[in-house]
Amino acid sequence: MAVLHINEQEFEKEVLQSEKPVLLDFFATWCGPCKMLGQVLEQLGEEQDKYKIVKVDIDKNPELTRAWNITTVPSVFFVKNGQVKDSAVGFLPKPVLEQKLNAL
């Protein structure tokens, strides 16, 4: 499944109401670690369809960024049934992401 880039209007449907577990990535286009993580997320998105990978650009979605108290990017959340089950800040290697997703 491809990585979804969403906005504030799509957030509730794509993340909170998702039937699949969600890896939610708050990122910025100017952020080096975000770009590195983005490449890993694209790989994960191509390799599986058990969970949804969703990206939110903090510069284009300031209300959502404030609501989620995002102060550092990348900020990653692991969401299942509308609830945050785990989170992390900074670049995470693919095996760590897979481990966290498999734990959902």
Whether residue 31 lies in the annotated active site:
yes
Asked if residues 33 and 85 have their Cβ atoms less than 8 Å apart, the reply is no
Instruction: List helix spans (H) across the chain.
Output: 11, 32-47, 62-67, 94-102
**Set 6, 15, 24, 34: catalytic member:** 34
Q: Is 36 a catalytic residue?
A: no
- Distance between CA atoms of 82 and 45, rounded to whole angstroms? 20
What does the alpha-carbon distance between residue 35 and residue 70 come to, in Å, rounded to a whole number? 17
Question: 25 and 41 in contact (C-beta within 8 Å)?
Answer: yes
Q: Contact at 8 Å (CB) between 27 and 56? A: yes
Of the residues 1, 3, 31, 104, only one is catalytic, namely 31
Catalytic residues: 31, 34
